[in-house]
Structure 1
Amino acid sequence: MTTPPPSSVDEATDGEAAGSEVPARRSWVPVLVRWLQRVVVALVGATLGVLLLGRVEAPIGPFDATVAFTPAISGGAELEIPPLGALAVDAYDGPLRLDVQLRRVDQVRAQALATDPAQLDGVVDRVSADLRTAVEQLAWTTGAAALGGAALFSVIALRRTREPFIAVGLATVLLAGTAGLGVATWRPEALSQPTYTGLLVNANSLIGSAQDIVARYDAYRASLEDLVSNVSTLYSAVSTLPDPAATGDSVTLLHVSDLHLNPAGADLVGQVVAQFGVDGVLDTGDVVDWGSPAENQTFGWIGALGVPYVYIRGNHDSAVTAAAVAAQPNAVVLDDTGTTVDGISVVGAPDPRFTPDKDAEGATQTLEETGQELVDYIGTLDDPPSIALVHDPKQAPPLDGVVPLVLAGHTHEREVSVLEDGTRLMVEGSTGGAGLRGLQGEDPTPLSCTVLYLDPATGELTAYDEITLGGLGQSEVTIERTYVEPLPTGDGEEPAPTDQPVQGPALPTP
């Protein structure tokens, strides 16, 4: 028997071993490819499910919101406030970003909040609770959408009976890993360092300005209290000037405008009414800033004046504002209508705009058209009125030559002019100093109002006192009397010229 050489046996053994390793290695390749395929299918299906169904509609405070998870590289959360922009918070890492979009304000919830100040105490807690509930609901919805999407896509892509179950298992692992990564990387300190986009880029500076305004307002109103207290002293000095009517008998009306919810402006009105013996107040609008029910609860000072208060709506005043003013026992709201104050006939037309409502739809009358409508109303009267009230001076041109005196506001700058056909247009500044916005500049907007003296027989304007309270840094009260008609001086002397101003005293802050 012949024995093969040892070298031949060794070579054969080595060949058999090498041949057995190749099939073993090749048998693992299909398995690996198949599982990679399953992972990809589960991931794609879960992502599609999240994109299509991973969102909920939920109330968050007074807002209706959409809350959703969106595939993203860096995770985090984003709050969208159309059309102002968005703010993003890098609060956690992961493949899903939490998106909250405020779609609209629910009128019923917002009105309940505005009309019940007690609800404001817990509004932050309620918003937090609403958001937490929405996120919990979203988590369950997103999980179900991801699992369902993975199972359905595996049926379509792989077409094997057991694949949907495998896809659900893989998607569960992916969701658990995503949640675990989010918890592990949670950064609560990031909530105080949001990134702003769109118009909200200026949010930091605006918030800073608002805080600064509030701080300045405390000092501002403290100084105004001293200034308003000087009105009585001021009136004593003015009373020594020549009598406006030269007869000792005048109807005295106070023109105010653009109070913008400034309590100091209301204080000024009360002081002037009391000290100057005012027979009635004529308000040419913008008594508030937003026309909200909460603002409209502050009109008790109007009823406490004790004299007629004639008002037209400004572009910041809502129909609700007008109704709240009309509810005061001494107030009359004019809307292409007229009234009489101590024998003086007054008509008025509101501003057709409502500035706070950015979503107002439908055609809006032009300012000049509203002036013409007031002219049409005047045409129905037996006698033309003595005074017409409008909010914006651009409403006045159609009234030129129809009424002798038109009172307006809106611009926050006092101006007196005579129109082409002889009508006098008196634009008041801001009796409320433009509200808190008046504190934004280097010098706050001064508070101003005008006392009008009219002939009771003819209704003609004979003189007016322009009262100005300087803002912060302008610590004085000034008054300037202007005579509209020539004053008889006696002894054959020439009368004083028409519209001659006589400067009253300037009183510094005590």
Structure 2
Amino acid sequence: MARDPFRAAAVRVRHLLRPRAGRRPRTGGLPGAAPRPLVRALGLVAVVLLGAWLGLLAVGSVRTPVGPMDTTMTLRPSLSGGTKINVSPLGALELDSHHAPVRLDVDVDRLDPIRSEALVQHPERLAGLEDEVTGDVSAGARELAVRSCVAVVSGATTLGLAVYRRPRRALAAGGLALALLAASGIGAYATWNPKSVLEPKFSGLLSSAPSVVGDARSIVSDFDVYQQELARLVTNVTKLYDATSTLPVYRPDPATLRVLHVSDIHLNPAAWHIIGSLVEQYGIDVIIDSGDTMDHGAAVENSFLDPIADLGAPYVWVRGNHDSAVTQTYLENRKRFPNVRVLDEGRAVTVGGVRVAGVGDPQFTPDRTGPEQAGDVQRTAGLRLAAGLGAQSRAGTPADIAVAHEPEAARQTDGAVPLVLAGHVHHRQNEVMKGGTRLMVEGSTGGGGLRAVQNKSPEQVLASVLYLDRSTRTLQAWDEITLGGLGLTTAEVSRHLPKDAPAPPTSPAPSP
């Protein structure tokens, strides 16, 4: 038979607070004197926190319908706060909704087949889903708040009574627990961020992520409408459940350009399958590869590049320090690769609706005898790229994106282009430089290539989808896609918005 958790906790706390046998409490040397006030205060706090936590575990959850879904809402102690929505079997959705010592967990238990079927078969009913979801969430939150208050007070009072065996001390524990919960609620309210639903972090099935997260244009146009995004999330999850094994296809918004940034593939053949899947799922308009596609740059490796012709999107490429002149010449064959554009020496091309300028890495690793990636050499290459950008701008055809392999070279374009892409370092970096240019460094889309089997743990497979406005080519949002490395099957997609995102219109139009 299972032991009562409150009784077991009380025994442990009493044991910790009880003076050791054979020793007098250190309170001035008087036998039988009470412990120091500080020790008593710390003991009371420990009883309150433990009792409140046990109370939340026992009775601190609420089952409530949200649209066509049956959910369970629970408050949990947390150092960072936020909201976590568990959508089994799709994965989890994390929102940075607030900063307080409590986290809201929402578990989607089941989808009501009658309500979901009616919603999917009669799309006109989606118009009322927004108000329904908002009302359901509000009602569930109110009930959860009341139940949580009862849970923490009951838990702290019960444990206090079991530990101290004094009603007054037990009531003090319950009152302190209620005060702590109220303070946490005030902290959550003060830091509440409704825009967090626009920048979710999704983990689980990669193929479902685009449909759950939504498209960038809707995010910008409905930037300040939290309940519309929440309703859209519920709708998309409903459709995913209804489709079961046949997940819905992500329909690209014609007003948004989608650019897939990849880098440092390093001869990993699995990268072509991943890139092809992303092109199909996200409706990619152009792929930009910032180099190190090869490992040694030898002619015998060239056939590894052949799948690029079948990726289904234009492919813009710059040379990395592991890519030789032989590699570049092979990719420049337009008969073999009609969709490839090789950029070097600041040259620019317009492809897929966006104008891109690039420069190849000035050093080739197998031939190099000097220090790796000497800074002056890279800066010189970057200055050549910046000069090309200036010439393009003076000619009336300014570039929208610049590409270099090494971040030091990319930094030389600050102020000459809105966005510059790079790779080389095998991890992500994202910053807005002093001149206003955003530098986005991608990790290894090949998971480090052969290096994946040399390290203690495999490198992650990284890529990013950039959303650009089709008319202005300004960056609206980007999705960072992270897959587990060799032998791993995890997937995570996180949405990010630039801090200088355009202000929403006063009367945003509803999304189609």
Q: Normalised by the size of structure 1, how large is the TM-score?
A: 0.49
Q: Normalised by the size of structure 2, how large is the TM-score?
A: 0.49
Q: Which has the larger radius of gyration?
A: 1
